[in-house]
């Protein structure tokens, strides 16, 4: 797909469909009104929006043209919509979760992304999170950027680019957070090493 450029309303509508397909599958596919309510949530959204039914309808029409959304053929009298997010953008499930989370919640640190994307099936391990971000960045048209660290910020933040340039800087591979050893893990490992060394010495004696 060529470079994708969405309006903020289109990005919010698309990401809301992705989110609800995972978190409330019993209410998916969704009506225009349900999509509007999801897009205008006060929680888990940044920025908070106040989309009208007409704005949601216009966004859905454009997303249909881009083949990112389709009308559900099994809907009754009320038309419902499905997304084709992962298929059209060639996204793996964990990568799709990361991108949708950025579209819904705005720029985030690695820790925030790991926590917020987990509910959508995002990666929980640091290495998998870094791989997903690199997948989104290492494309002809990068979908995420690393933002310059603002004054007072301790950690870098990542943002999506589907609504245009997010003011990113040169991409750098995300650092994988160090895994904290469990209490007593070092002592247990040392004991295993000593036991293995003893077995090696015993085998050497038997082979003499």
Whole-prediction pTM? 0.80
Q: Tell me the per-residue pLDDT of 70-118, one tens digit each, with 9 for 90 and over.
A: 999 887 789 999 999 999 999 999 999 999 999 999 999 999 999 999 9
Residue 61: half-sphere exposure toward Cβ, Cα within 13 Å: 6
Q: Tell me the per-residue pLDDT of 153-165, one tens digit each, with 9 for 90 and over.
A: 888 899 999 999 8
- Is residue 163 within 8 Å of 7, Cβ to Cβ? yes
Q: What is the CATH number of domain 8-88?
A: 1.10.10.10
Map out the domains of the chain as residue ranges: 8-88, 93-160
Say which CATH architecture domain 93-160 belongs to: Orthogonal Bundle (1.10)
């Amino acid at each position: 797909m060529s470079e994708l450029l969405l309006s903020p309303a289109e990005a919010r509508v698309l990401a809301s469909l992705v989110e609800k397909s995972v978190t409330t599958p019993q209410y998916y596919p969704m009506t225009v009104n349900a999509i509007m309510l999801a897009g205008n949530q006060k929680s888990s959204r940044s920025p908070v929006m106040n989309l009208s039914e007409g704005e949601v309808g216009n966004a859905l029409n454009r997303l249909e043209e881009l083949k990112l959304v389709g009308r559900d053929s099994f809907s009754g009298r009320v038309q419902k919509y499905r997304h084709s997010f992962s298929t059209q953008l060639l996204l793996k499930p964990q990568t799709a979760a990361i991108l949708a989370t950025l579209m819904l919640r705005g720029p985030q640190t690695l820790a925030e992304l790991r926590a917020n994307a987990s509910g959508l099936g995002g990666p929980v391990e640091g290495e998998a999170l870094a791989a997903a971000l690199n997948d989104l960045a290492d494309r002809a048209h990068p979908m995420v950027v690393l933002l310059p660290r603002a004054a007072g910020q301790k950690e870098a933040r990542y943002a999506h680019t589907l609504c245009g340039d997010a003011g990113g800087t040169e991409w750098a591979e995300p650092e994988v957070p160090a895994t904290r050893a469990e209490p007593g893990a070092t002592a247990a490992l040392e004991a295993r090493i000593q036991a293995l060394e003893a077995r090696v010495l015993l085998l050497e004696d038997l082979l003499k």
